[in-house]
Amino acid sequence: MKEVILCKYGELVLKGANKSRFEAMLVRRCRQRAERFGNFTVSARQSTVYVEPMDELCDMDGMLESMCRMPGFNRVSVAAVCDKSMESLRECVREYLPHRMAGVKTFKVEAKRADKAFPLKSPEICAEVGAYILESVRGIRVNVQNPERVVRVEIRENGAYIHFDQLIGAGGMPIGSSGRALLMLSGGIDSPVAGYMMAKRGMTVDALHFESFPYTSERAKEKVLTLAKEVTEYTDCMYVHILSLTHIQEEIKNKCDEDYFTLLLRRFMYVLAERMAKKCHCEALITGESLGQVASQTLEAISVTDAMVQMPVFRPCIGLDKEEIVQISRRIGTFETSILPYEDCCTVFTPRHPRTRPDAAKVAAEAAKLDFDALCDEAFATMYTVKVTPDGFTTFEK
């Protein structure tokens, strides 16, 4: 029995004149992803991308999972395909469903007739196919109110499809449809979630990670790259730029008021991030900040850091509680890595009493003790890049 993966559009169905451009992006991305899982053909029709295996060696389960993680689709399922006739549907039910629905007690059929030339109307298709199921699957009954399985029959332009296990897709918009942004990626829980959330809205996401060797370890960096790799299950590829803050942190520690350490450091981080963003053609920054979570994430502290950059800063976690962020991180598969206990540059030289309501004049006075531009230039010169994909890392600039 021939099978195909049906990937149904999310918000894309609402797009008017631009829909075909978005559709082309989705198809291109699916084709790229399919290369990992075998010889598939990919095409788009009627608000659905069809992913068809061309031989027995194709990894359907791998491809199905990958499609569920691709921004742009909200429902994904494996369907049996047959000709558009009731005889073929009957044959298909007999062959395809009995062992797949063995042990299922109740079902109902839903039919969609996208091809209006098909002679039977949807309720008639439901009744007929329901009867085929009753005669083919042992011990099964119809339950319209609360069925164990919903068997869906779709009569489409290019064939009839039967499926019964729709999976929830990632939703959102195709990657690349909403521009490019630079994610400030730490080893914590929040920033990978923030990157995922913006990728889901169609952004191509690059990342910038600040290290502080030897105060932060190789293993802490590996952890961040592992997190990036986990996020690429959704985004396909991520360039992670790594930059050292060691000297900046030592200068702050030696010359400035301890209460202002974090805030002064974050001003550097933002400026360096914007500079990097411009260099890699990103038009916005993304952070995992959540209002009030820590001293550097109060409204006053965020105002101080925001004032350092001109680019929009997207903070998709800003209104989420930690528990809500944790839930997303568990769902996307980054949580277990995020909680590995390695240090971050922000936890090096942490002040005992960080300012939650920083005084702008005092911040300026403390900042004036440092040669801001020279320190930025020096930090920027330490930058190197790692290309991260679901298959692993390649360091290609040092």
How many CA atoms does the CB half-sphere of 370 hold within 13 Å?
Answer: 26
Q: Is 246 in the site for ligand ATP (CB under 6 A)?
A: no
Work out how close the CB of 194 gets to ligand ATP at its nearest, in angstroms, rounded to a whole number.
6
Adjacent-strand bridge partners of 291: none
Length of the chain: 398
Q: Which of 23, 128, 190, 206 binds ligand ATP (CB under 6 A)?
A: 190
Alpha-carbon distances, residue 338 vs 219, 228, 229, 233, 378 (angstroms): 13, 11, 12, 16, 29
d(CA 76, CA 73): 7
Work out how close the CB of 179 gets to ligand ATP at its nearest, in angstroms, rounded to a whole number.
18
d(CA 209, CA 193): 15
Structure tokens at 188: 């914590």
Work out how close the CB of 114 gets to ligand ATP at its nearest, in angstroms, rounded to a whole number.
44
Judge residue 343's burial from the number of C-beta atoms within 10 Å of its C-beta, 0-12 exposed, 13-18 middle, 19 or more buried: middle
Selection from 288, 249, 251, 276 nearest residue 265 by Cα: 249
How many CA atoms does the CB half-sphere of 69 hold within 13 Å?
Answer: 20
Stretch that binds ligand ATP, among 40-48, 203-211, 351-359, 379-387 (CB under 6 A): 203-211
Count the residues of the shown chain that bind Mg ion, applying the rule CB under 5 A.
1
Work out how close the CB of 170 gets to Mg ion at its nearest, in angstroms, rounded to a whole number.
23
Q: Is 188 in the site for Mg ion (CB under 5 A)?
A: yes
Work out how close the CB of 346 gets to Mg ion at its nearest, in angstroms, rounded to a whole number.
8
d(CA 255, CA 327): 41
Work out how close the CB of 95 gets to ligand ATP at its nearest, in angstroms, rounded to a whole number.
51
d(CA 280, CA 3): 41
Q: Which of 287, 305, 334, 337 binds ligand ATP (CB under 6 A)?
A: 287
Supply the DSSP symbol for 388: E
Q: Which of 81, 346, 367, 379 binds ligand ATP (CB under 6 A)?
A: 346
Work out how close the CB of 88 gets to ligand ATP at its nearest, in angstroms, rounded to a whole number.
53
Q: Is 358 in the site for Mg ion (CB under 5 A)?
A: no
> With contact defined as beta carbons under 8 Å apart, do 186 and 346 qualify?
yes
Give alpha helix (H) positions in 165-210.
190-200
Q: Which of 189, 225, 282, 284 binds ligand ATP (CB under 6 A)?
A: 189
Q: Which of 72, 289, 298, 335 binds ligand ATP (CB under 6 A)?
A: 289
Q: Is 294 in the site for ligand ATP (CB under 6 A)?
A: yes
Work out how close the CB of 200 gets to ligand ATP at its nearest, in angstroms, rounded to a whole number.
17
d(CA 210, CA 311): 19
Q: Is 296 in the site for ligand ATP (CB under 6 A)?
A: yes
Structure tokens at 398: 């040092």
Binding partner of residue 346 among Mg ion, ligand ATP, none, CB under 5 to 8 Å per kind?
ligand ATP
Q: Is 177 in the site for ligand ATP (CB under 6 A)?
A: no
Selection from 36, 65, 37, 34 nearest residue 234 by Cα: 65
Q: Which of 53, 130, 288, 354 binds ligand ATP (CB under 6 A)?
A: 288
Which C-beta is closer to Mg ion: that of 53 or that of 188? 188
Give residues in contact with Mg ion (CB under 5 A). 188
Binding site for ligand ATP (CB under 6 A): 184-186, 188-191, 208-210, 287-289, 293-294, 296-297, 344-346
